[in-house]
A = this chain, B = another copy of it.
Amino acid sequence: MRKPGSNGAETQRNLRAAAIQLLSEHGYGAMNLRMLAKKVGIQASSLYNYIESKQQLLYLLCEETTGALALELDQTLKGVKEPAERLRKFVAFHLGYHIVNRKQASVLQMEIRSLTAKNFQAITKLQRLYTDKVHRIVDDGVAQGSFRVADSEIVTFALVQMLTAVTRWYRPQGRLALDQLVEIYTDLSLGMLHADSAARTARALPSPATRRPRRSEPLLAAESAESADG
């Protein structure tokens, strides 16, 4: 049967969006295909015109996100030479991506574990490529003398994870705007790297006095409450 006005490409897009939303909200195990189908507005069996399996759907979403991250990071860093400046760009990009695409990103972060062993390995391999890029920035900065770290591998992990964790609490209605968060996290990152004053001065830390908290809105959101804004 064909619903009048139905359109494959649109359904495909809706499916993707619905899947991200539901996966980030419930997790892979707790999301079932009926929920997904309902959100897309078709029957569960019709999903199989668009996906191979539930597992494959998860895999593709994870792959897509990882791939996008790597690609966009490269573009962001293109032409930027100074390690300190590259780090800044990285922080701004990584944080921004994880805030703007926070559902997608949280699927990648949380649901990897639901991938089959083979798929899991494929994704972690891709992720490793991304982390290595950051690692190189850190190492370059250390070699050049802009940064000082006890262990560049550990610091890289810690840095990436600290930034990534923003998906765990960020809420669009929160107290702080994206650019404010970027400034704050840049400062944290440079602090972790013991960046020299030259590295720090590219952009000044905003004076605390100028920020005006809107206190009524909580900053930290219970994860399950996230669904409210989906």
Contact = CB atoms under 8 A, between A and B. Distances in A.
A219 interface: yes
Interface stretch (A9-17, A74-82, A97-105, A112-120): A112-120
Most buried by B among A120, A188, A206, A223: A188
Most buried by B among A154, A157, A224: A154
A183 B222 contact: no
A220 B176 contact: no
Contacts of A198: none
Contact of A165 (B26, B157, B219): B157
Contact of A114 (B29, B192, B220): B29
Interface string A193-226: 1100000000001101001000000011011100
Interface of A: 26-30, 110, 112-114, 117, 120-121, 124, 128, 150-151, 153-155, 157-158, 161-162, 165, 168-169, 176, 181, 183-185, 187-188, 191-194, 205-206, 208, 211, 219-220, 222-224
Chain A interface mostly: helix
Given A29-B29, A188-B192, A224 B117 contact: yes
Nearest to A150: B184
Contacts of A220: 128, 153, 157
B158 A223 contact: no
Contacts of A208: 150-151
B155 A188 contact: yes
Contact of A222 (B121, B162, B185, B222): B121
Nearest to A121: B222
Contacts of A157: 165, 169, 220
Contacts of A29: 27-30, 114
Given A27-B113, A158-B185, A191-B191, 4 more contacts: A120-B224, A151-B211, A153-B220, A161-B162
